[in-house]
Structure 1
């Protein structure tokens, strides 16, 4: 990895260009940058009120960081000069590179940079709020801080919007990648997290350029106690890949990226407000706050609203223990029903010590608590009566050592000054109930597995569909049970072979990825004597039908250009896509991880003896998943889908198989 320290934390900054350069100078001045800023312009004596140098060679020394605000062709020449003189790095602002069809020009830029790090091109730049160093040509909404989170985005406009937040989040860095011609997401993430003053990392990601590298960065962040949270866009892309298999449709972009983030130990959110609120939690408490939550409010309506909304985020509320019930009943009186969420009524309102004791008694039995409280707007109302309750929340956190989150049901009900003051005291106010619940769910970060990395990816190819007879032979050789069957190029040759099989039989036509949709499956046959040819079939397979079926499952494993291999499991059959009850994992995975993933299926109870039904052999399904990972070590294989995999009370049989393989 390149050393980005001079670029991110410069003592000297050079700026090239006119208007853009003036903006950079203005932002550095406004933020109180204590280092030197050197404008470079061949025709002007000063830029932005500062003495200008006619050329880079006239500078007192090689600059640590340079903002290049000139056209794209001149940018290549400037980068070459900076690299030759030993500069620390540069922001390449100009557009018109690969995104405009000029891949050759972008390659020239990378060659010109050599060992010198560059961000971009087509890149807005970097803001360092810790040191007041801004290589940034526009307005922003941040302020100087001593420590805080880093924001890294593949969209300049989105990260500009994030800087305008008024939620009390201290931001240490803002960084953009642009085209990421040289320095990519993983490398810049690692460089930002390497600063001891950075407490967490928030990402807006359109695509991962180095999944292995990013997984390593995420693990290092966990080891350092720094949370990473990501908003991944473009998640519907997979829906457009509904190509030749259920797996491709069900394990497309969104499912694969979510699996990758979870297995890397990275929190995932769906909205920009959730991103900011999760970062606030990470800034104060670090990742993994715990999953056992309690909720307290002085209104039954609020308690009900919390319960209703929480379900959508997978948050449940365990009831208080009997000891808690007794303590809380004594504090609140007989009218209050002790539950979780708790409506503590207003009997204790204004009584600071009693409120503190109630809050502490409830919070003590959980990992963390959310306390609904909406201070009235101070310009029209008097919020002083809310102060005892707000103080009691902070006191309860100190007494129990547990995170206590004041939650405003609407974000505007916590003004920024109050939020900043709370954060400074170690209390995280969460703004907007639904957003708060999303952030609390995200902050229960998956732990990740030490040393886990996705398998190397390879470029997509144009694979060929194996006929099912060959596919079944490949699976059988790998130890995966398949029905007894025979294959032939036409029905005339198949009929005598099929007489060795025990009816009922299944007849299938080769040459179809989706046989049912093409009329290429006939079931329950006693013989093949009266069977007519199937239009379009390139051959035939006759098999003994599987009996004793307790569940029809789908399992697919496929090459992924970003994440290496994806493994998708779920309920199958002809309604697999209609059910869409699947889970996706990124290989390699262990047997316990596969089994745990299956428990997230909506229909999992059907695999676990629902209402006294016999249990199918889930262990056999897990074994097939493990065997398929071994089979896919063959680099010529692109995709294997078994649908359905018939689960019996003991064992599993691959009733149908689709395999795509490179034949070159």
Structure 2
């Protein structure tokens, strides 16, 4: 793919078509102050929005750096081909009715393929997208109103939804936005290529993503690494809780590791901050623009109200946000400024004794971050400028600016409501290097997202094309394959009929477990009987089952905890490794965590210990601890199996964990090229 520079920062623009949308593109470029050439192309009109029109692309005086194609979907193909032949730098394909409409239009998929062929090596955005805005180059390849103003530096927002992109340009929270790009169907130029091109622009401080799905996993992984090396944070909001990874599965793993879990695991692994709503996306981008990545989530909170201090503490409950306790040195320093009446704590209510005293407030703010906190947060709601004076509130800003200069620590000013942070104030704060944040919940969510990013030490993701002829292996074959990679399994043997099952049980040694094979979710079907102690019991149990094919296994005793260990291919995010409470607790507790394959032993250990069931693993209420190394060995063996075979899905449930063992009591594998016999 050739560079996107000409498309993103064009010096000449061609607008093809004559409808309202095309007229808006010309008008928005004028309004934005675009200083380059604008050419119109229309078959019958002599002008479009006051710009003289050429009858064809071939008649243009040169190859445009960028083109907005505003004609119907069929005509779009010919226009794009002509632009490519002309040597244009790229095109926005506005029309819809391509692959996004496959359910409604029979030719939608073929038409999108034809569009890709027509474009050749010329970059195209879309189809089915609005285009792009570049506020540092005064470019508006955009068929509608927008809320951006020219800036020298700011964040870039890349969105699959054009309407959401428009809405984000209308924010009044002070976020400086340098670029907005919509990607539509990502027919040819995908999200990852666009984001990588934006990273190379020094005017871009951070990137925000509003996405439904990724274009290419490897390309996205490469983009994230470039962002990390460039020191530019990426904040993502992913929508579309797709059932991709749950389709045609027969295990608990897939339901636990759906597309949202895969996306979250991918973002964590790649060091991308994930948020769950639009207000938090904007707050996180402000923080990313002004501060960058936070080394941790330790905060010093200051307010002149006990209610605000308590609200801060309550909002942080359940989040990965901490308020470091004040040291004796900090307390002594604060006492000298605040006197004896103020209770010293973090969050701090510094009362109103020093209100209006810039020096005292500055020293207070400085002392509060003179400890473990990496971010100072001053709660301040501004009065209505149309009815009240802000003079005293401006002194707080001056004090925060002084504290920031003295300590070298980042500071933010947090309003409890967006309405109490006027846009002019937010813009002034950012110019001073202070983060203007709106809303306790959104602000703390943003801090949590940007301060909880793990270092990038993971190996490249395991990504292979899906296998053909996927079949489900029976339990015996599944266990045998896992055993080949180091998973410990019970002594077992298959049997046909009740008599043979009884003979096998005697050979293995009682007590035994009897399982009916070829049955999904055996427990629910009554196809698992534990603790059989003699031949008669085995025969009776076998005769009650809805099958005459059995697996007889030794009975594992001394189990302390049960886990689920599973991997499922997520078409969008790679192979999702799920760790969860196992056995009958899997669905009851919904206690799970997801990673991606391969994950390091240390990452797996950390994730495993984050589960509620970890208390059983490590010894709960005087019970012995499980052999955690044996559990980790098993998980490594499962990952090795996935990477060595055309696996679609693996589930061990339960993995029986004891003081000196981890044994796969039940296993299921869906794999290419395997029969189900």
Q: Which residue of 2 aligns with 1:444?
A: 451
Q: What is the CA distance between 1:51 and its match in structure 2?
A: 1.7
Q: What is the CA distance between 1:612 and its match in structure 2?
A: 3.8
Q: What is the CA distance between 1:345 and its match in structure 2?
A: 1.4
Kindly tell me: are residues 578 and 463 of structure 1, through their superposed partners in 2, closer, same or farther at Cα, counting changes over 3 Å? Answer: farther
Superposition map of 1:205-354 within 5 A: 205-235=211-241, 237=243, 241=247, 243-354=249-360
Relative to the length of structure 1, the TM-score reads 0.97
Q: Which residue of 2 aligns with 1:587?
A: 597
SS at match of 1:584: strand
SS at match of 1:143: coil
The answer to whether the aligner puts 1:516 opposite 2:523 as a matched pair is yes
Q: What is the CA distance between 1:239 and its match in structure 2?
A: 9.1
> Could you tell me how far apart the structure 2 residues matched to 1:148 and 1:411 are?
20
> Could you tell me how far apart the structure 2 residues matched to 1:104 and 1:140 are?
33
Kindly tell me: are residues 215 and 578 of structure 1, through their superposed partners in 2, closer, same or farther at Cα, counting changes over 3 Å? Answer: same
Q: Is the 8 A contact 1:295 1:303 kept in 2?
A: yes
Superposition map of 1:353-502 within 5 A: 353-365=359-371, 366-450=373-457, 452-459=459-466, 463-502=470-509
> Could you tell me how far apart the structure 2 residues matched to 1:118 and 1:460 are?
31
Q: Is the 8 A contact 1:274 1:438 kept in 2?
A: yes
SS at match of 1:157: helix
Q: Which residue of 2 aligns with 1:6?
A: 6
> Could you tell me how far apart the structure 2 residues matched to 1:294 and 1:609 are?
35
Q: Is the 8 A contact 1:454 1:563 kept in 2?
A: no
> Could you tell me how far apart the structure 1 residues matched to 2:646 and 2:196 are?
34
- After superposing the two structures, state which structure 1 stretch, 457-466 or 639-648, moved more: 457-466
Q: What is the CA distance between 1:579 and its match in structure 2?
A: 0.8
Q: What is the CA distance between 1:453 and its match in structure 2?
A: 2.8
- After superposing the two structures, state which structure 1 stretch, 537-546 or 62-71, moved more: 537-546
Q: Is the 8 A contact 1:264 1:452 kept in 2?
A: no
Q: Is the 8 A contact 1:297 1:342 kept in 2?
A: yes
- After superposing the two structures, state which structure 1 stretch, 318-327 or 30-39, moved more: 318-327
Q: Which residue of 1 aligns with 2:636?
A: 626
> Could you tell me how far apart the structure 2 residues matched to 1:393 and 1:144 are?
28
The answer to whether the aligner puts 1:124 opposite 2:125 as a matched pair is no
Q: Which residue of 1 aligns with 2:40?
A: 39
The answer to whether the aligner puts 1:547 opposite 2:565 as a matched pair is no
One of 503, 508, 524 as aligned partner of 2:510: 503
> Could you tell me how far apart the structure 2 residues matched to 1:558 and 1:624 are?
16
Cα distance per residue 1:166-201 (max 9 Å; x no partner): 011111111111111100111111111111111110
SS at match of 1:168: coil
> Could you tell me how far apart the structure 2 residues matched to 1:57 and 1:242 are?
51
> Could you tell me how far apart the structure 2 residues matched to 1:328 and 1:574 are?
54
Superposition map of 1:504-653 within 5 A: 504-527=511-534, 528-537=538-547, 539-653=549-663
Kindly tell me: are residues 443 and 587 of structure 1, through their superposed partners in 2, closer, same or farther at Cα, counting changes over 3 Å? Answer: same
- After superposing the two structures, state which structure 1 stretch, 520-529 or 229-238, moved more: 229-238
Q: Is the 8 A contact 2:136 2:153 kept in 1?
A: yes
- After superposing the two structures, state which structure 1 stretch, 461-470 or 227-236, moved more: 461-470
Give the unaligned 5+ runs of structure 2.
103-107
Kindly tell me: are residues 464 and 451 of structure 1, through their superposed partners in 2, closer, same or farther at Cα, counting changes over 3 Å? Answer: closer
Q: What is the CA distance between 1:335 and its match in structure 2?
A: 2.1
> Could you tell me how far apart the structure 2 residues matched to 1:651 and 1:213 are?
41
Q: Is the 8 A contact 1:241 1:249 kept in 2?
A: no
Q: What is the CA distance between 1:329 and its match in structure 2?
A: 2.1
Q: Which residue of 2 aligns with 1:58?
A: 59
Kindly tell me: are residues 66 and 234 of structure 1, through their superposed partners in 2, closer, same or farther at Cα, counting changes over 3 Å? Answer: same
Q: What is the CA distance between 1:538 and its match in structure 2?
A: 5.7
Kindly tell me: are residues 32 and 266 of structure 1, through their superposed partners in 2, closer, same or farther at Cα, counting changes over 3 Å? Answer: same
The answer to whether the aligner puts 1:29 opposite 2:30 as a matched pair is yes
Q: Is the 8 A contact 1:458 1:561 kept in 2?
A: no
> Could you tell me how far apart the structure 1 residues matched to 2:609 and 2:352 are?
41
Relative to the length of structure 2, the TM-score reads 0.95
Q: What is the CA distance between 1:460 and its match in structure 2?
A: 6.9
> Could you tell me how far apart the structure 2 residues matched to 1:375 and 1:295 are?
17
- After superposing the two structures, state which structure 1 stretch, 459-468 or 523-532, moved more: 459-468
Q: Which residue of 1 aligns with 2:101?
A: 100
Q: What is the CA distance between 1:450 and its match in structure 2?
A: 4.4
> Could you tell me how far apart the structure 2 residues matched to 1:353 and 1:22 are?
56
- After superposing the two structures, state which structure 1 stretch, 450-459 or 174-183, moved more: 450-459
Cα distance per residue 1:233-259 (max 9 Å; x no partner): 023647965941110011111111100
Kindly tell me: are residues 161 and 638 of structure 1, through their superposed partners in 2, closer, same or farther at Cα, counting changes over 3 Å? Answer: same
- After superposing the two structures, state which structure 1 stretch, 589-598 or 462-471, moved more: 462-471
SS at match of 1:290: coil
SS at match of 1:178: coil
Aligned length: 664
Cα distance per residue 1:444-475 (max 9 Å; x no partner): 15134246432114337663222222222222
Q: Which residue of 2 aligns with 1:176?
A: 182
- After superposing the two structures, state which structure 1 stretch, 44-53 or 401-410, moved more: 44-53
Q: Is the 8 A contact 2:97 2:128 kept in 1?
A: yes
